[in-house]
Amino acid sequence: MFLFHALSQAWKDGYSFSKFRSDVVAGITVGIVAIPLGMALAIAVGVPPQHGLYTVIVAGLLAALFGGSRFNITGPTAAFVVILLPITQQYGLTGLMLATFMSGIILVLMGLLRLGQLVAYVPYPVTTGFTAGIGLVIAFLQLKDLLGLEVAGNPIHFPEKVMAYASALPSIHFADAFIGVVTIVVFIAWAKLKTRIPPHVVALVIGTVLALVMNQSGGVHVGLLGEKFQYQIGDLIGQGIPQVMPQFNVIWQNDGVTWSLVIELLPAAFTIAMLGCIESLLCAVVADGMTGTKHDSNSELVGQGLANMVVPFFGGIPATAAIARTATNIRAGAFSPVSAIVHAVFVLAAMVALAPALSYVPMSALAGLLIMVAWNMSEAPHFVHTLKVAPRRDIAVLLTCFSLTVVFDMVVAVVIGLLLAGILFIQRIATLTTVTVVDKGHEHLDFGSDVLVYDINGPLFFAASEKAFSVIERSSIDTKVVVLDFTDVTTIDITAIHAFENALERISHYPVYLLGVAPHVATKLVNSGILSAGNITLFPSVSSLREHLAINNHNLASQESTPSTVSLYTADTSV
């Protein structure tokens, strides 16, 4: 079942009024956290803050209804910033919403095709590398609002932003910087108290009150959200956050939406979907670990996809499950997706009731808040620890993904990181595949001085086969039989089959006995035609081979004693 999976599971576990009350408390708690983060993340991707709130309301509600995790809280996340900001800069809000809709379609298809388990194949150094890189980029991008910098132009790439921000340093506004630093300090200090009140709320409230006091006292001015953003909804024009519910809008009726734009945005939509898949499923895994529950990955992808398909029609931006908000939800006592539904409804009510008050939030306070979010998501101490203890190949993958994420973007980082991780993994596995000559006196494989035994260990595939089979050569004049022990061979591919054929040609003057060939490996050898050679016999066990050698008294070198077909000793191997 794809739809309503998490809700149905919670109901089966026994839903009661006390659990509903816990869900309401948890939903309100996480809703309080989601309001400033929704606004801050929308600003970070280059759109007015209300679009972040629209995302929390619509996507948060739909993902909770249709998703596969009981505790995931969905909304805009920091991980999307480095992907979405260039889209906004190049294509505007309409392009961003169109890419959101397309990514939703991809996520739904991934869920329906049951691809939810694929995230398990993304290596840990890759996810750690690009997550830390995203954290660094997000934190750097907040310096503009944190310090009140007047940056010339609108640079897209990170190196260009570094140069632009450095040139703008003389324009620093110390009142904004003071509020931003205070917000960060309060966040850190309050988090150490480990109270039930989230540090996001306390830090933002203190920063806002302090900014209002400074603005009223005169002499200095702190930039506020309402001063930077304006809105127009029909005939309604105002500053800050509109005090209205999300409005339905058919995005492809907007000017500029063409089929060529869809083609241009397809790579970006795919990237958004891939990151949304990784973030949502990792979040669900974390939630399972905290609660002892089990999510349905494919249902979660369908729920996230439906949320992203619908949210752009209400002015929303890409959404995915957020680990920090999900953890807050669990710690606040959530039991079911009802808490996520309550969180979305609470944000809607707060937006309609408190929109004028939100206009007084300082831009530098929101920037400080996002810097702390970026720090937490980057897990910098863990990143450094990994560099100290991980194998060198994993460190190379980690630093490659981190550097490419910062200098270029996450798409390049993940693609190259996966390729590099794959190549290093293949090299690592190839070193585990060996073919060695068995010494005389071996406990199990000593069949006499005239029987030469090669012990083959590990998977025989393209990266290992040629080097492994090169060991098999013509033997001494005393050799009458060659035994190849396949007991520890788990698989064989066509490259290895070709290398095996070459090795068999080098020992074609001897009867060749294959020992302990697994059924699926034997099937491949039969299909390739290797076993049609007259000098090859299969034996399922050491005892059967030893019995055959004893019966023939090792006199197997003559043509008369060489079987012309594959031995029926292997009847149990499906050959």
Q: Look up residue 333 and give its two tokens.
A: 């006592």
Q: Look up residue 252 and give its two tokens.
A: 């492809």
What is the pTM for the complete model shown? Answer: 0.78
Give the whole-angstrom CA distance, residue 99 versus residue 531. 55
pLDDT value of residue 565 = 38
Residues 192, 193, 198, 204: what is their CA dihedral angle, to the nearest 10 degrees?
-80
pLDDT value of residue 67 = 93
From the number of C-beta atoms within 10 Å of its C-beta (0-12, 13-18, 19+), residue 443 rates as exposed
Give the whole-angstrom CA distance, residue 59 versus residue 456. 55
Helix (H, G, I), strand (E, B) or coil at 142: coil
Strands 481-488 vs 512-515: parallel, antiparallel or unpaired: parallel
Q: Which residue has the tokens 């958004």?
A: 272
pLDDT value of residue 255 = 67
Give domain limits for the chain.
40-424, 434-554
**Residue 79 near residue 275 (C-beta atoms within 8 A):** yes
CA distances from 221 to 150, 207, 335, 355, 364 (A): 15, 13, 45, 22, 12
Give the whole-angstrom CA distance, residue 421 versus residue 542. 39
pLDDT value of residue 553 = 60
pLDDT value of residue 451 = 85
Helix (H, G, I), strand (E, B) or coil at 537: strand
**Residue 164 near residue 151 (C-beta atoms within 8 A):** yes
pLDDT value of residue 463 = 87
CA distances from 217 to 56, 173, 212 (A): 36, 17, 9
Per DSSP, the residues of 379-442 read THHHHHHHHHHS-HHHHHHHHHHHHHHHHT-HHHHHHHHHHHHHHHHHHHHHTT-EEEEPPTT-
Residues 233, 235, 237, 240: what is their CA dihedral angle, to the nearest 10 degrees?
-30
Count of Cβ atoms closer than 10 Å to residue 295 Cβ:
25
**Residue 567 near residue 536 (C-beta atoms within 8 A):** no
Please give the CATH architecture assigned to the domain spanning 434-554.
2-Layer Sandwich (3.30)
Q: Look up residue 359 and give its two tokens.
A: 């206009």
pLDDT value of residue 2 = 63
Count of Cβ atoms closer than 10 Å to residue 477 Cβ:
6
DSSP state, residue 221: -
Q: Look up residue 220 and give its two tokens.
A: 């200095």
Per DSSP (E only), the strands in 68-204 are 74-75
Per-run averaged pLDDT (10 residues), the chain, 575 residues: 79 90 93 92 93 96 94 92 90 93 96 84 84 90 92 82 92 95 96 87 94 88 91 81 89 79 93 91 88 91 96 95 90 93 96 90 94 89 92 90 86 81 85 84 78 90 86 72 91 92 87 92 90 82 86 51 39 34
pLDDT value of residue 9 = 87
